[in-house]
Amino acid sequence: MSQQTYKALIYVTLRPSVLDPEGTAVASGLQQQGYTEVEEVRMGKYIELTLTTETEESARKRVNQMCHQLLANPVIENYRFELKPLTTTVGG
């Protein structure tokens, strides 16, 4: 079976109930620089991960496992991701 390369775009965010001191510091810094219209800032991670699998289902399952085990801390963080097939030899 042929292999397909995917790029996973992963967004890791703090759960809404978890305090975000870094975001609070950034918001306060922006306000002090004159950006008084800023109300709240929440900091998260954005991860681009390239992987090669046989099916999209398999890619989805593996990325889910990686997020749950290593990329996010499920106690305090949520994650979501999108998968994009990378075109390799498919031309047009």
Q: What is the contact surface with a second copy in residues (CB under 8 A)?
A: 5, 11-13, 23, 26-27, 29-30, 33, 35, 37-53, 62, 65-66, 69-71
The residue assigned the tokens 């030899």 is 89
Q: Among residues 36 and 92, whose Cβ is nearest to a second copy?
A: 36
Smallest separation (angstroms) from a second copy to the CB of 71: 7
Q: With respect to a second copy, which residue has the nearer C-beta, 48 or 92?
A: 48
- For a second copy, give the closer residue by CB, 48 or 91: 48
Give whichever of 29 and 75 is closer to a second copy, judged by the CB atom: 29
Find the shortest distance in angstroms from Cβ 47 to a second copy: 6
The nearest distance, CB 43 to a second copy, in angstroms, is: 6
- Alpha-carbon distance of 45 to 11, in angstroms, equals 6
Which residues, 6+ apart, have CB-to-CB distance to 47 below 8 Å? 8, 9, 10, 12, 71
d(CA 92, CA 56): 22
CA distances from 21 to 26, 38, 41, 42 (A): 9, 16, 10, 9
